[in-house]
Structures are given as C-alpha cells and as structure tokens.
Structure 1
C-alpha cells in the first residue's frame, strides 16, 4: 500500500517557513486590498528577506500570481503588479459568459443521462449550501465544478478556450465571493433556470441561463472593483441592477 510523505515539522518554538502557495496567497490578498499598488515592483530580494524564504519559493509564488493575471513578469526586469482595469475585467466576463453558455448548450445536446443527473445533483447541493449560508468561496468552487462537468461535452478546442479564460479570471474569484456575500438575491434564480433546462434538454434556455449567471457576476465584480478605487477606466461603466439580466456596456470616449 502506498504511503504518503509527511511534511517535515519546524523545530519547537519556530514557525514553519511559508510555502510558495502560502506566499502567493499572502501577496494575492495584498494586491486585492490595494496594499500593493498597480505597477509596483515585487523584488525577489525584498520578498526573500520579508518572508524568510529562498528565491525558489519566491519565484514559484510569482509564477502562480502571473498565471492568475495579478502580476506581469518581464524578462531581465522582474515582476510588477498588473494594472487591470474594470473594462478589462468586464470584457473577460463577457467572453466567459459566451463560453459558459456554449458549455451549457452542449451539455443539453450531448450529455448522457448519467451526466445530466450528476450535474443536477451538484446544482441542488449548491443551492442548498447557498440557502444554508455556506461560505461564498465554497459556492464558487461548486459552481465551477458544475461548469467543468458541462464543459466536458465541448470539443477539445472549446475546452481549451474555457480553461484559458478561467485562468485569466481566477484572481477575480475573491471579488465574486464578496458579491455572493451581499444580501442580494445572487444568481440563484438563473441557476434554477439552468437546472430546469437541463432536465428538459432545452439547449437554448440552458445557454441563456448560464450566460445570465455570468452577466450577474460581471456586474457585481465590476461594482466591487469600482468601490475599491484602483484599476478604473476613464469613465465608469453603467452597471445595471443585479436583479435584472440586462448587461452593462462600458462607455468609450469618442
């Protein structure tokens, strides 16, 4: 029987050194709280000294943040915090809505009965967790798992596109969690629409319901980013009420 390697324990009285994952989590939180400003350089030497870790740990953490889109790594220069704008986030969610709508449509058209039943079970669990006050981060994980199941019905190219856009929006999940923590209705009526459409194998209704889930999150994430101050465009996009399915369209200067 295979054995699991145990992580070495730090000597008594000494705190365990942060892992690359720990460091990435800390830096991610600092960026999202605007403690690290857009454009600010993250010097390896300073991070090694501040967190008491080696350069290999720092580099792995920075690569993880770069994968999330939070920082940009420039050859021979180092890493600096990305200057993501609300408009860029808005556009990413627009693409994500189209791809997730496609995934829901293909699940209706191509999914086996067993897959549809499994997805419905997950939706029911997620709705029950939301009603029971489970942490928003858990709800986000459950919703992504559901979309992963639906995405499995897409072609290999479609799956690659979905995974690519997921990587680019991964660092916004904390904003999405904040949106779900508000006292509003959340996107759950849209989830119920998707559930009913999957049962009926109604591809168009499932696709629209999935897009509406992402349009809701698009508006709420944009609201939160605007309220935080940084990463603004010259003119704020018109964000609709979260109780409607109408989408905001960022206004551009002429």
Structure 2
C-alpha cells in the first residue's frame, strides 16, 4: 500500500496562526468573552477556515478559548478561583524548576539565563508590554530547559498558556516591571551563579507569589468594576 503523502506546509502554517491568535488574546486584542468569528479570523490572518478551526481547537485545549453552545468560540473568561488555582500550580512547579536548574544546568545554560535576564531588563526599560511578555517567555524557556525535567516543562506549558492573560494584568500594576527585574535577578543569581537549589526555589516561589498578588488584584478590580 502506498504511503499517504505528508502535507509538510500545513503544520507550520497552523502553528503560525495559532501563535498569532494566542498572542492576540494574551495582549488583549481580543477581550475575555469576545466572540471569535471564523470569517473575520480568516480575513485577519489570510488563511482558510480549516486552518482557523485547527488553531481554535488547539487554543481550546489550552483553556484560552471556550466553545459556547449557540454562540461558537469565544475568548475564555477566568474566575477568581480559577486564577488563584493557576497561580498556586505555577508557584509549586516553578519553585521545583528553579531548584533543579541550580542542580542540573550546564555552564552554557547558566550563561544563557544571564543573557535572557539582560533581555528582560532592556524590555522593562523600553516599557513595551508585548516585548516584556516575549522576553519573559524566553527567560522561562531557558530556566525550564535547564531543569532537565520534561514533565515539569509539559505541565507548566499547560498552566502558563492560561496564565498568560493574567500576566498582562500583573504587568499593568504600577512598578511591577522594576520588581520583576529584581526578582528575576535574584532567581538568576541563585540558580545560575551560586548554584543554590534552596535559594533558587525560594526566589521562584516569591516571584510567583508577588506576580499573583499583582495579577489577582487587577483581575478583582476588573471583575468588580
């Protein structure tokens, strides 16, 4: 039996559109509860309905989109309890990842984490929220890779896909950027310079706790407003 040809360009296009739509949701181009009309998305990204539907299905599995009966897909809305649960999960996983990085990371990964920290500092100085998210994502990619634990990476990917929207809330908090730089500097020093697992875990724990306080306060204000 002849093998079925593989459509080599389909997956990269779907991934590209999925990432673009994910970013639009995270940066509040599409607001929580807003309907996502397939025809509008097709025009926006200049792709077929098939590609849009595949992207929507992927983002539904990540919890960023909800399929509502008689309405179709819309941007998911997080309750306070869901947001609190996500931060708790992130706190536990990132603390462990920080400790493992201190124990397992290579010298090259330590150097890469220092470089990623410098990118965060530059982005915060520029005041660009979109760039802030991108460089923080890069910082965590390096941290998680250096942990050497694929399951922590997998679980945090699922958690962070939903918590991305909350990160925009925490970034809206006054002076949060400066605090973020200080907290990530502490994590980097503990994990990549001093190779201290206990301090790295504490630093990660404190960073997520502070981000949660800022993000949940802003979410509460929005929900009550």
**Could you say whether these structures have the same fold, taking a TM-score greater than 0.5 normalized by the shorter chain as the test?**
yes
Structure 1 CA distance, aligned partners of 2:134 and 2:36?
32
Alignment of 1:128-143 (within 5 A): 128-130=122-124, 132-143=125-136
CA root-mean-square deviation: 3.4
**Alignment match of 1:197 (pick from 185, 190, 196):** 190
**Alignment match of 1:154 (pick from 148, 156, 175):** 148
Match of residue 244 from structure 1: none
Structure 2 CA distance, aligned partners of 1:168 and 1:22?
15
Match of residue 188 from structure 1: 181
Q: Which runs of 5+ in 2 are unaligned?
A: 1-8, 10-16
**Alignment match of 2:99 (pick from 102, 105, 112):** 105
Contact 1:100 1:147 in 2 (8 A): no
SS in 2 for 1:79: strand
Query: C-alpha deviations, 1:194-219, integer Å up to 9, x for none?
Result: 12213111111111111221111111
Alignment size in residue pairs: 202
Structure 2 CA distance, aligned partners of 1:87 and 1:116?
36
The 1:60/1:29 distance shift into structure 2, 3 A limit, reads farther
Structure 2 CA distance, aligned partners of 1:60 and 1:84?
23
Contact 1:31 1:81 in 2 (8 A): yes
Deviation at 1:43, TM superposition (A): 7.7
Structure 1 CA distance, aligned partners of 2:18 and 2:198?
43
Matched, 1:121 2:115: yes
Q: Which runs of 5+ in 1 are unaligned?
A: 6-18, 37-41, 233-254
Structure 2 CA distance, aligned partners of 1:201 and 1:212?
18
Contact 2:80 2:216 in 1 (8 A): yes
Match of residue 177 from structure 1: 171
Q: TM-score, normalised by structure 1?
A: 0.65
Higher relative contact order (CA 8 A, sep 6+): 2
Alignment of 1:171-250 (within 5 A): 171-179=165-173, 182-184=174-176, 185-198=178-191, 199-229=193-223
Contact 1:48 1:58 in 2 (8 A): no
The 1:108/1:222 distance shift into structure 2, 3 A limit, reads same
Match of residue 164 from structure 1: 158
Structure 2 CA distance, aligned partners of 1:172 and 1:141?
15
Match of residue 31 from structure 2: 31
**Alignment match of 1:94 (pick from 77, 80, 88):** 88
Matched, 1:48 2:42: no
